[in-house]
Amino acid sequence: MIIDMPGTTAGAVAKRLIKIREEGGAIALGRVLTLIIVADEGDITEAVDAANDASREHPCRILVVAAAHDRTTDVLDAEIRVGGDAGASEVIILRPSGGLIGHPDTLVMPLLLPDAPIVAWWPQNMPASPSTDLIGAMAKIRITDSMNCTQPIDNLQVLRANHEPGDIDLAWTRVTVWRGLLAAALDQPPYEPVLSAVVEGDEAHPSVDLLAAWLARGLKCPVTIRRKSQAYAITRVVMTRRSGDIILDRPDGHIATLTQPGQPDHRIALPVRQLRECLSEELRRLDPDEVYGDVLVKGLVRVEADA
């Protein structure tokens, strides 16, 4: 069910939600968090679809703030989605215009779930400092996605300069499986130190840089990035030891081949992770990712020096 509320107020939206709950029973109960999505109008559909999928694992109230920059009057249009149009959540889309655009925190405050953690998510362009943003300052966890920004690699440096505990970037979440496979490969005999490593991947994909930074920080060895145009995110990692190279190669974005000295090759399903998977993973944590912060702040410097 979709309810349109043009020319309304945040208070009126909150009252309408109470009425929906009274009429529909437990439809608005049992939420574990409030997810605030700050998006442009053209990004709403993809973001809400991903959030709805994630809400089946993490029931939540989804608040979308999409500024209507094409209007100059101080107007708030709202849309409420419940039931089949909202997955296991309830979705409230706020479209402020005029002077209301500058006060998104006051718009969402009446709609926050009591005693539930707040997560802020910018699916496309993000603030330079998520922790000091008006919405970000309200949130326990602040999710960005540097891959979808206009300058992905440059935005990693912006995130690095302004990082605070609770900040997380989905470019890091996309390398979770890669990190697990590489760590497992090193956790086998002969337990030799890695002398150097190479990470290959798309020239504009920040996950390449973060994986290289993680290797440089953890292995304390030179790590080189080799960028390719039109590649499938991360395509290849080579870790060199005295006994030979450990190679994890995924040229097609679907199947990876793990090659290790003295062992047969292993083929592993390693598809490029989807947005809903990454979002679900971060909603599962709801705690600062200390490893990400360490890699972002200290690891990227090592890659820059070695690349």
Residues paired with residue 118 on neighbouring β-strands, in sequence order: 34
Helix (H) or strand (E) segment spanning residue 77: strand 76-81
pLDDT above 60 (res 307): no
Average pLDDT over residues 225-236: 92
Residue percentage of the chain with pLDDT more than 90:
82
- Pull the structure tokens for residue 140: 């326990």
CA distance to 53, 220, 223, 249, 252, per residue, from 237 (Å): 31, 16, 10, 6, 14
pLDDT of res. 42: 92
Tell whether the torsion through CA atoms of 261, 262, 264 and 268 is positive or negative. negative
Domain locations along the chain: 2-169, 176-275
Q: Are 87 and 61 in contact (CB under 8 A)?
A: no
pLDDT of res. 28: 46
Residue percentage of the chain with pLDDT more than 70:
95
Residues 6 or more apart whose CB falls under 8 angstroms from that of 56 comprise: 87, 88
How do residues 112-161 score in pLDDT, each as one tens digit?
999 999 999 999 999 999 999 999 999 999 999 999 998 999 999 999 99
Q: Name residue 263's amino acid.
A: Q
Average pLDDT over residues 92-116: 95
pTM of the full predicted structure? Answer: 0.93
CB under 8 Å, gap of 24 or more: what pairs does 124-129 form? 124/39, 124/40, 124/43, 124/148, 124/149, 125/40, 125/149, 125/150, 126/155, 128/158, 128/162, 129/162
pLDDT band at 88 (very low <50, low <70, confident <90, very high): low
Question: How far apart are alpha carbons 288 and 292 in whole angstroms?
Answer: 9
pLDDT above 90 (res 285): no
How do residues 16-70 score in pLDDT, each as one tens digit?
998 988 876 545 456 889 999 999 999 999 999 999 999 888 889 999 999 999 9
